[in-house]
């Protein structure tokens, strides 16, 4: 959530995305609107309708003109079945999911999700090392938002690495813009690292760099990342869902100039951006074709046909706190003297959303499409877990490898994303809601600040990541 701007919930910054509901799906299937709409929750991109049964992409396309992907569709898109057939599922590795508050129903919800899609139940553990989490309050939109985030993170990291263990680490204070919530996150992550409880940390949250009172206030929160680096634990962070800009410290949208967020901007973290996984145009609504930079317009996902504003886009840009790390020297022409993000990008668009299941109130038992870099990050965490299994060791900070692989070229599984941009058009809450445009970064050949190095073909990428010599 990024600043409660998360990813996957569209990082906390935007409200829920409402998609107008028709009465029934094509073919008479139950409409998503057959149950009461999802309450608006600041913090992620979520289609504002849900259903008792898991809809297919064909049904979602017919009713909303968006796809809603199952685990199998996303697995196929990233060529993961080739690895699964070799027994590479993340077995023996543990993915660490860190979220404020967590979800009161995540254990049973994961079992329902698995049963629907034929996935094995993982070993799911839940700990609260930074203090007891307050009782879940279904009238508290912040808690509901984090429960949705938790659901997305757990279900989709598991869907990519079905053999990996999941450790959900819940913290008792909501992460918002600036420092708030991060001390507890740092404490919890240091506990996990010190006790050797996992191999890759997935973080679907972040705060706009400008919301920190000083550079030192941010640098004081880096101990967990230094600790992870020393213990070969990979740390991932979502790059956010507000494209080239991001939220103010009051969570309203957005700065009228390019900004980026932390911890994805940290040089000890791999920043995960967003792409749109485009449905096939061959008449097969259950198939997917290719990736472009994630950039959704409100009018394309249920808003007014004349609405000029941007719903959301993959976060990317230049840090104001971190200078260019050595691993980005090969892309100095694109990042200059600053740390650039993202590093890699995965599925995040609401036009190609993924399905999750939850049963906590006020949503009740329901399936709904959700999106954002909070989706992309746990997906990539699953990729890292499989790579660690193949390597028979933890790879730790992978950024050196990523950029060296890209510079070397060849069949390394990095798939360049060359179309799209992450510009934003929005009503500036700090300027009388004036319509504001922040020109984004454009994708192109090689590294760019819209998609990073690109996305992946896991069947080629994972062996290359493990075996690359640099």
- For the segment 18-56, what is each residue's pLDDT rounded down to a tens digit? 333 322 222 222 333 333 444 343 345 655 556 678 888
Phi, psi of 295 (to 5 degrees): -160, 95
CB 256 within 8 Å of CB 436: yes
Mean per-residue pLDDT over the chain, rounded:
88
Residue 42 has a pLDDT of: 38
CB 135 within 8 Å of CB 147: no
Residue 47 has a pLDDT of: 56
Collapsed DSSP state (helix, strand, coil) of residue 304: coil
Residue 200 has a pLDDT of: 98
CB 274 within 8 Å of CB 353: no
Which residues, other chains included, contact 283 with Cβ-Cβ below 8 Å and sequence gap of 6+? none
The number of distinct structural domains making up the chain is: 1
447: CATH? 3.40.50.200
CB 331 within 8 Å of CB 403: yes
| Residue 363 confidence class, pLDDT cut points 50, 70, 90 | confident
Six token digits for residue 266: 């940290």
- For residue 5, is it within any domain? no
Bridge partners (DSSP) of residue 237 are 203, 271
- For residue 2, is it within any domain? no
Residue 45 has a pLDDT of: 62
CB 256 within 8 Å of CB 433: no
- For residue 3, is it within any domain? no
Which residues, other chains included, contact 178 with Cβ-Cβ below 8 Å and sequence gap of 6+? 3, 207, 211, 212, 213, 217, 249
Collapsed DSSP state (helix, strand, coil) of residue 296: strand
* Per-residue pLDDT at 289 exceeds 80: no
Q: Do the strands 424-428 and 434-438 form a parallel or antiparallel pair, or are they unpaired? A: antiparallel
- For residue 361, is it within any domain? yes
- For residue 84, is it within any domain? yes
d(CA 25, CA 62): 7
DSSP E strands, 187-228: 200-203, 207-208
d(CA 158, CA 80): 13
Write out the residue range of the structural domain in which residue 36 sits.
11-467
CB 351 within 8 Å of CB 430: no
**pLDDT of 253-269, one tens digit each?**
999 999 999 999 999 99
Residue 17 has a pLDDT of: 36
CA within 13 Å, CB half, 134: 11
Six token digits for residue 73: 């569709």
Mean pLDDT of 278-305: 76
**DSSP classification of residue 204:** -
Q: Which residue has the higher pLDDT, 19 or 373?
A: 373
Residue 25 has a pLDDT of: 25
* Per-residue pLDDT at 362 exceeds 50: yes
| Residue 177 confidence class, pLDDT cut points 50, 70, 90 | confident
């Amino acid at each position: 959530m990024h600043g409660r701007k998360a990813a996957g919930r569209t990082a906390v910054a935007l409200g829920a995305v409402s998609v107008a509901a028709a009465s029934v799906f094509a073919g008479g299937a139950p409409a998503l609107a057959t149950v009461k709409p999802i309450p608006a929750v600041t913090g992620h991109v979520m289609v504002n309708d849900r259903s008792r049964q898991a809809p297919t992409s064909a049904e979602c396309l017919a009713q909303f003109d968006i796809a809603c992907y199952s685990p199998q569709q996303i697995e196929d898109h990233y060529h993961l079945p080739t690895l699964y057939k070799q027994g590479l599922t993340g077995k023996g590795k543990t993915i660490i999911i860190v979220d404020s508050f967590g979800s009161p129903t995540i254990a049973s919800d994961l079992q329902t999700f698995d049963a629907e899609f034929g996935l094995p139940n993982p070993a799911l553990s839940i700990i609260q090392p930074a203090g007891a989490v307050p009782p879940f309050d279904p009238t508290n939109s912040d808690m509901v938002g984090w429960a949705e985030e938790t659901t997305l993170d757990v279900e989709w990291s598991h869907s990519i690495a079905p053999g990996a263990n999941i450790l959900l680490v819940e913290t008792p204070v909501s992460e918002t813009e600036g420092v708030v919530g991060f001390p507890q996150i740092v404490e919890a992550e240091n506990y996990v690292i010190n006790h050797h409880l996992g191999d890759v940390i997935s973080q679907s949250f972040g705060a706009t760099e400008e919301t920190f009172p000083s550079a030192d206030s941010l640098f004081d929160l880096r101990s967990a990342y230094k600790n992870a680096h020393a213990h070969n634990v990979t740390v991932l962070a979502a790059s956010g869902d507000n494209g080239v800009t991001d939220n103010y410290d009051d969570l309203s949208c957005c700065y009228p100039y390019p900004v980026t967020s932390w911890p994805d901007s940290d040089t000890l973290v791999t920043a995960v951006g967003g792409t749109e996984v485009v449905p096939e145009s061959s008449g097969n609504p259950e198939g997917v074709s290719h990736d472009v930079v994630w950039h959704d317009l409100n009018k394309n996902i249920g808003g007014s046909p004349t609405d000029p504003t941007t719903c959301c886009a993959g976060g990317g840009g230049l840090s104001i706190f971190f200078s260019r790390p050595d691993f980005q020297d090969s892309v100095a022409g694109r990042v200059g003297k600053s740390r650039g993000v993202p590093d890699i990008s995965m599925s995040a668009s609401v036009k190609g959303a993924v399905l999750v299941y939850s049963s906590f109130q006020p949503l009740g038992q329901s399936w709904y499409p959700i999106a954002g870099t909070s989706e992309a990050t746990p997906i990539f965490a699953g990729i890292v877990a499989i790579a660690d299994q193949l390597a028979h060791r933890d790879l730790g900070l992978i950024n050196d490898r990523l950029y060296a692989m890209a510079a070397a070229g060849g069949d390394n599984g990095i798939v360049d994303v060359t179309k799209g941009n992450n510009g934003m058009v929005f009503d500036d809450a700090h300027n009388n809601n004036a319509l504001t445009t922040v020109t984004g970064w454009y994708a192109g050949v090689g590294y760019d600040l819209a998609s990073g190095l690109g996305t992946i073909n896991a069947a080629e990428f994972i062996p290359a990541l493990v075996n690359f010599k640099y």
